Amino acid sequence: MALKTRRIVVRNFLVAGILAAVGVIHQSASAMTKDNQIRQKNVRVVRDFLNLLSRKRMDAWLELWDENGVQDMPYSPPGFPKRVEGKTAIAKHYSGLPSNVGRMVFPDLAIYPMLDPNTVYAEYRGEIEVLATGKPYNNIYAGLFQFRNGKILLFREYYNPIVFNEAWGDNFSKGFNLSK
């Protein structure tokens, strides 16, 4: 094969390789863009979750949940559920909250989207006035949110149960519907 022909073959091979690589990169960029859109939407849901909860807009807050949503609270104190399963059970669990808390805000929110676009980790503080005890409930939270189709499928909430008990005492059953 003549030198000129070899150069053409090598050049065509390189061009074909570059085009293939661009196609792969383009496909990956497209997938990354879709993942980023999902992440951004889920980050917005986490912000809405805390905003609606602080404003006690429970109907709108419940709309953020998947029908099969689960709230896990692995460090909840004795007598308080460790797990609430299903949107209906979550609605019941939180039904007494609006009338039993005063001011409720969640400052210092830091949100960390994960590699999986349907998983978001958040850290925040809660400043909640417990009406039954007159005590402030100021706790630090870590929340792991998992989503399905933009709805909360799992909310795993970590908080200090000692701080919870000091603020609520035996009155947490008033703020949360704990009847079976």
Q: pLDDT tens, 127-169? A: 999 998 999 999 999 999 999 999 999 999 999 999 999 998 8
104 touches 129 (CB < 8 A) = yes
**C-alpha distances in angstroms, 102 versus 1, 9, 127?**
86, 76, 10
Task: Out of 5-9, 36-40, 114-118, 151-155, pick the least confident.
Answer: 5-9
**How far is C-alpha 96 from the chain's CA centre?**
23
* pLDDT band with cut points at 50, 70 and 90 for residue 1: low
Domain boundaries, the chain: 3-175
- CATH entry 3.40.50.1220 includes domain 3-175: no
168 vs 90: which has the higher pLDDT: 90
Distant-in-sequence, close-in-space partners of 176: CB < 8 Å, separation ≥ 6: 80, 93, 94, 96, 97
Residues facing 83 on adjacent strands: 72
- Tens of pLDDT, residue by residue over 12-60, are 544 444 444 444 444 455 666 899 999 999 999 999 999 999 999 999 9
pTM of the model: 0.80
Residue 12 in tokens = 């065509």
